[in-house]
């Protein structure tokens, strides 16, 4: 078994001037120059020259062989989300490249910086339906921030530099570089690697308009019931400190989208909970009562807003975003504040008055008490013998003290984990928010562990999602990624079942999913584990999992027909949130 040591060697490109190297070597030199230490991938015919070159770069680049290209890109996403760096994935042409599409779409909608490098058939075969040829550029155009096909090796250094710059700058996103086999093999005179920091037609960060910041400050200073909603922009901008200073000075209650989760510690007195379909009662209802809504680095996703025509109609909206296309896209902004919130927040903080909004904050607290009584207490301490998902998360909180990275898949467990997991550090919540990709968590957790090797990484997965990418246990086995896996097994595709119960007259159409013996399967992959069916064993099992040296799989059998509440039914206003 290999260990999880990361390579920390310095880039070597500066010494390589005026030498003849292959396109493949140029790719690897570019990665090293961009400070990439870990690459996820899967070899194949059309990317073999790059893998051949990789053989000589083992001391500088760690390659993690995944079991499926989808696993590779989700791992790269997990890596990017915990490290704040660009995740890199290799795949071959044709099916290898098309297997990346889900991850690219996921990274695109969740603004995750990823560079995907795919092999392509020889340039002279392009467009001939050659073996394993697909038009990967056209297939991936709608799901990438930028993509480019290289047919000549001399282009490689500049194209890769551009790729990294585009992936990580402004609103981050996935970039795909497709390299034909001849370009990988071709030798050329290498003149070193120049990082890219300017592209004529690309303005990653809009110019901040001071007059709008001033206008925003005026609105905030005059507000009686201001409310902050924050998203991942705070984390992507590395603006956690600036954000906290802003809300602490203004005393404004702040609620998070699931991608904004962990940007502010859960127990912060101004943190009033989660927004959206399964968010908390107070922030949802009071969205429709606040007088000034300050949206920071979030994009008013429909899962957050519910019915747009009934969303915060009474409020003046201040929208801080780095992406001008997000302004007015869903919710009309009274004052837009373009720019990186790392820069705009301090400008705003300087102009706002120090205030406290105690009575207004108390409204959130009162509603939280109501939610506590009607929902949370029942979830945490169920009357039945069946365990609830919430009590598992609660027990995990007790043991990790909010210091773990939590990676979630998609479904009921995701909503429960996001609702109840506690965080004390940023970049601790990794989930597929926008695309809602089942099968995301296991490979993303592997990547998250490489992105944050010193932290405990716990993947929380449903029995359905786990079966979509469980082959990545093989990656864990081979590379020793010490990922802790909790399967919350209700023997159902729980979220769909919940909707069928509530909106389709309990017609449970194909949601009753049978699972294999997960613990035995894990054992087959050399991963330790156990299954827990009884509440009294839960805490000890979680403790054993966390203390185990290496990866561990814990299956927890939970209530078969538990529902996630509160819930804003689709087509309803956020104020119509249901507590049961």
Binding of other proteins by 95 (CB under 8 A): no
Which of 8, 200, 401, 507 is in the footprint of other proteins by CB under 8 A? 200
Which of 90, 311, 338, 450 is in the footprint of other proteins by CB under 8 A? 338
Binding of other proteins by 127 (CB under 8 A): no
Which of 56, 224, 302, 328 is in the footprint of other proteins by CB under 8 A? 328
Of 396, 350, 401, nearest in space to 542 by CA: 396
Which of 12, 19, 35, 141 is in the footprint of other proteins by CB under 8 A? 141
Alpha-carbon distance of 393 to 388, in angstroms, equals: 9
Helix (H) or strand (E) segment spanning residue 449: helix 441-451
Nearer to other proteins, 153 or 567 (CB): 153
Which of 130, 199, 368, 528 is in the footprint of other proteins by CB under 8 A? 199
The tokens 């209802």 sit on which residue?
285
Which of 8, 198, 401, 536 is in the footprint of other proteins by CB under 8 A? 198
Query: Given 132, 372, 471, 478, which residue is catalytic?
Result: 132
Alpha-carbon distance of 251 to 63, in angstroms, equals: 47
In the region spanning residues 543 to 572, those forming contacts with other proteins, defined by CB under 8 A, are none
Instruction: Note if 181 is an active site residue.
Output: yes
Alpha-carbon distance of 88 to 77, in angstroms, equals: 8
- The two three-digit tokens of residue 93, written as one number: 């042409």
In the region spanning residues 159 to 188, those forming contacts with other proteins, defined by CB under 8 A, are 166
- The neighbour count for residue 162, using CB atoms within 10 Å, is 19
Which of 122, 146, 499, 508 is in the footprint of other proteins by CB under 8 A? 146
Nearer to other proteins, 194 or 328 (CB): 328
Nearer to other proteins, 146 or 508 (CB): 146
Binding of other proteins by 309 (CB under 8 A): no
Nearer to other proteins, 163 or 361 (CB): 163
What is the smallest separation between the CB atom of 203 and other proteins, expressed in angstroms? Answer: 6
Nearer to other proteins, 64 or 327 (CB): 327
Alpha-carbon distance of 122 to 141, in angstroms, equals: 21
Binding of other proteins by 218 (CB under 8 A): no
**Only segment of 32-40, 41-49, 109-117, 328-336 that touches other proteins (CB under 8 A):** 328-336
Which residues lie below 8 Å from residue 12, measured CB to CB, with a gap of 6+? 29, 32, 60
Binding of other proteins by 212 (CB under 8 A): yes
What is the smallest separation between the CB atom of 155 and other proteins, expressed in angstroms? Answer: 12
Binding of other proteins by 324 (CB under 8 A): yes
Instruction: Let me know if 249 is exposed, middle or buried by CB neighbors in 10 A (0-12, 13-18, 19+).
Output: middle
Does residue 237 contact residue 297 with C-beta atoms inside 8 Å? yes
Alpha-carbon distance of 485 to 422, in angstroms, equals: 17
Report angle CA 266, 580, 289 to the nearest 5 degrees. 60
What is the smallest separation between the CB atom of 142 and other proteins, expressed in angstroms? Answer: 5
Nearer to other proteins, 278 or 319 (CB): 319
Binding of other proteins by 321 (CB under 8 A): no
Alpha-carbon distance of 355 to 365, in angstroms, equals: 18
Query: Given 2, 131, 369, 543, which residue is catalytic?
Result: 131
Of 288, 146, 256, 255, nearest in space to 576 by CA: 288
Give the residue ranges of DSSP H helices in 401-440: 412-420
Strand partners, 462: 488
Query: Given 60, 181, 225, 449, which residue is catalytic?
Result: 181
Instruction: Note if 69 is an active site residue.
Output: yes
For the CA atoms of the chain, what is the radius of gyration?
24
Nearer to other proteins, 334 or 533 (CB): 334
Binding of other proteins by 207 (CB under 8 A): yes
In this structure, the strands spanning 19-22 and 187-190 are antiparallel
Query: Given 29, 34, 69, 155, which residue is catalytic?
Result: 69
Alpha-carbon distance of 218 to 348, in angstroms, equals: 10
State the first-to-last Cα distance of the chain, in angstroms, to the nearest integer: 49
Alpha-carbon distance of 497 to 190, in angstroms, equals: 58
Nearer to other proteins, 122 or 148 (CB): 148
Query: Given 274, 477, 495, 545, which residue is catalytic?
Result: 495
Binding of other proteins by 508 (CB under 8 A): no
What is the smallest separation between the CB atom of 206 and other proteins, expressed in angstroms? Answer: 5
**Only segment of 28-36, 202-210, 230-238, 498-506 that touches other proteins (CB under 8 A):** 202-210
Alpha-carbon distance of 302 to 257, in angstroms, equals: 11
Of 474, 473, 480, 425, nearest in space to 450 by CA: 480
Does residue 158 contact residue 125 with C-beta atoms inside 8 Å? no
Binding of other proteins by 194 (CB under 8 A): no
Binding of other proteins by 201 (CB under 8 A): yes
Which of 138, 191, 314, 520 is in the footprint of other proteins by CB under 8 A? 138
Binding of other proteins by 126 (CB under 8 A): no
Around 456, how many Cα atoms within 13 Å sit in the side-chain half-sphere? Answer: 22
Q: Which residues bind other proteins (CB under 8 A)?
A: 137-138, 141-142, 145-149, 166, 197-203, 206-207, 212, 323-325, 327-329, 333, 335-336, 338
Catalytic sites, residue numbers: 69, 131-132, 181, 495
């Amino acid at each position: 078994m290999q260990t999880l040591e990361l390579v920390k060697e310095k880039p070597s490109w500066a010494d390589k001037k005026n030498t003849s190297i292959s396109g493949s070597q140029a790719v690897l030199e570019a990665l090293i120059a961009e400070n990439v230490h870990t690459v996820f991938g899967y070899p194949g015919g059309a990317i073999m020259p790059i893998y051949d070159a990789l053989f000589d770069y083992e001391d500088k680049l760690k390659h993690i062989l995944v079991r499926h290209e989808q696993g590779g890109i989700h791992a790269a996403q997990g890596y990017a989300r915990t490290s704040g760096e660009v995740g890199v994935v290799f795949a071959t042409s044709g099916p290898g490249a098309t297997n990346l599409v889900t991850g690219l779409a996921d990274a695109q909608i969740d603004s995750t910086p990823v560079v995907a490098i795919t092999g392509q058939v020889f340039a002279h075969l392009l467009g001939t339906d050659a073996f394993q040829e697909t038009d990967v550029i056209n297939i991936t155009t709608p799901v990438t921030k930028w993509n480019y096909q290289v047919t000549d090796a001399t282009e490689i250094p500049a194209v890769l530099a551009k790729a990294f710059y585009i992936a990580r700058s402004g609103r981050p996103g996935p970039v795909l570089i497709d390299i034909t086999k001849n370009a990988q093999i071709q030798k050329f005179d290498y003149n070193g690697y120049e990082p890219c920091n300017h592209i004529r037609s690309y303005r990653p960060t809009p110019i901040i308009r001071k007059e709008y910041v001033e206008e925003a400050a005026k609105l905030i200073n005059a507000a009686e019931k201001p409310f902050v909603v924050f998203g991942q922009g705070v984390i992507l901008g590395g603006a956690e400190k600036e954000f906290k200073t802003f809300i602490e000075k203004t005393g404004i209650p702040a609620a998070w989208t699931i991608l904004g989760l962990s940007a502010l510690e859960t127990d912060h007195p101004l943190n009033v909970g989660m927004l959206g379909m399964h968010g908390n009662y107070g922030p949802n209802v009071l969205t429709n009562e606040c007088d000034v809504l300050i949206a920071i680095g979030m994009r008013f996703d429909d899962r957050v807003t519910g019915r747009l025509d009934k969303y915060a109609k009474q409020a003046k909206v201040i929208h801080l975003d780095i992406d001008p296309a997000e302004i007015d896209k869903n919710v009309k902004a009274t004052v837009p504040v373009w720019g990186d919130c790392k820069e705009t927040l301090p400008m705003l903080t300087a102009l706002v008055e120090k205030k406290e909004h105690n009575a207004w904050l108390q409204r959130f607290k009162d509603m939280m008490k109501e939610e506590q009584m009607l929902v949370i207490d029942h979830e945490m301490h169920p009357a039945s013998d069946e365990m609830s998902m919430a009590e598992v998360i609660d027990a995990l909180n007790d043991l990790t003290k909010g210091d773990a990275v939590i990676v979630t898949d998609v479904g009921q467990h995701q909503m429960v984990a996001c609702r109840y997991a506690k965080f004390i550090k940023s970049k601790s919540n990794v989930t597929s928010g926008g695309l809602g990709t089942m099968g995301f968590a296991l490979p993303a957790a592997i990547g998250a562990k490489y992105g944050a090797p010193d932290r405990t990484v716990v993947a929380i997965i449903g029995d359905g999602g786990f079966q979509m990418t469980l082959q990545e246990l093989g990656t864990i086995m081979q590379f020793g990624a010490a990922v802790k896996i909790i399967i919350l097994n209700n023997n159902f595709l729980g979220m769909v079942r919940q909707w069928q119960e509530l909106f389709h007259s309990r017609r449970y159409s194909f949601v009753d999913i049978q699972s294999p013996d997960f613990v035995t399967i894990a054992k087959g992959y050399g991963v330790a584990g156990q299954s827990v069916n009884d509440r009294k064993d839960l805490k000890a099992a979680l403790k054993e999992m966390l203390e185990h040296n290496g990866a561990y799989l814990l299956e927890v059998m939970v209530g078969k027909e538990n529902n996630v509440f509160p819930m804003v039914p689709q087509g309803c206003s956020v104020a119509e949130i249901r507590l049961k």
